[in-house]
Amino acid sequence: MQEHKVGTHDEWQAARDELAKLEAEQAQRDEEISKRRHELPWVPVEKEYEFETEDGKKTLAELFDGRTQLLAYNIMYGPKYTVGACPGCTGLADGFDGGVLHMNKRDVTFICFSRAPIDRLVAYKKRMGWDFPYVSTNGSEFPFDFGLALTEEQAQQIPEVKEMIENPPEWLEFWSTQVGAELKDGLREAPGYIAFALENGTVYHTYTVTAPDPFVSPFFGFLLDRTPKPQPEDPIAYRKDEYPD
- Single-letter amino acid, residue 2: Q
* Integer CA distances (angstroms), 157 to 6, 152, 153, 186, in order: 51, 9, 7, 16
Q: Is 200 inside a domain boundary?
A: yes
Check whether 124 has a pLDDT greater than 60.
yes
Tens digit of pLDDT for each residue in 64-106?
999 999 999 999 999 999 999 999 999 999 999 999 999 999 9
Q: Is 69 inside a domain boundary?
A: yes
Q: Is 31 inside a domain boundary?
A: no
SS3 call for 49 = coil
What whole-number distance in Å separates Cα of residue 225 and Cα of residue 232?
11
At 232 the pLDDT is 72
> What average pLDDT does the chain have?
94
At 217 the pLDDT is 77
pLDDT average, residue stretch 213-232: 78
At 138 the pLDDT is 98
Check whether 107 has a pLDDT greater than 90.
yes
DSSP single-letter state for residue 84: -
Structural domains counted in the chain: 1
Q: Evaluate whether 109 touches 103 at the Cβ level (below 8 Å).
A: yes
Q: Is 245 inside a domain boundary?
A: no
Q: Give the helix ranges, DSSP H, for the chain.
A: 9-38, 87-93, 97-104, 118-128, 142-145, 152-157, 159-166, 170-179, 183-186, 219-224
Cis preceding linkage at 168, omega within 30: no
At 225 the pLDDT is 82
Check whether 10 has a pLDDT greater than 70.
yes
Q: Is 161 inside a domain boundary?
A: no
At 2 the pLDDT is 61
Output the domain CATH number for residue 70: 3.40.30.10
Chain length of the chain: 245
Q: What DSSP line would sit under 120-146, residue for residue?
A: HHHHHHHHHT--S-EEE-TT-SHHHHT
Tens digit of pLDDT for each residue in 185-208?
999 999 999 999 999 999 999 999
Check whether 1 has a pLDDT greater than 60.
no
- Domain assignment of residue 73, given as a range: 43-54+62-149+189-224
Check whether 155 has a pLDDT greater than 70.
yes
Tens digit of pLDDT for each residue in 16-52?
999 999 999 999 999 999 999 999 999 999 999 999 9
Provide the β-strand partners of residue 208.
Answer: 194
Q: Is 29 inside a domain boundary?
A: no
Is this model's pTM higher than 0.85 or not?
yes
Closest by CA position to 78, among listed 160, 162, 151: 151
At 215 the pLDDT is 74
Q: Is 21 inside a domain boundary?
A: no
Q: Is 170 inside a domain boundary?
A: no
Check whether 165 has a pLDDT greater than 90.
yes
At 51 the pLDDT is 98
Q: Evaluate whether 210 touches 216 at the Cβ level (below 8 Å).
A: yes
Tens digit of pLDDT for each residue in 54-74?
999 999 999 999 999 999 999
Tens digit of pLDDT for each residue in 128-146?
999 999 999 999 999 999 9
User: What's the sign of the alpha-carbon dihedral 12, 17, 21, 24?
Assistant: positive
Provide the β-strand partners of residue 199.
Answer: 202
- Beta-carbon contacts of 107 under 8 Å, excluding residues fewer than 6 positions away, are 67, 68, 69
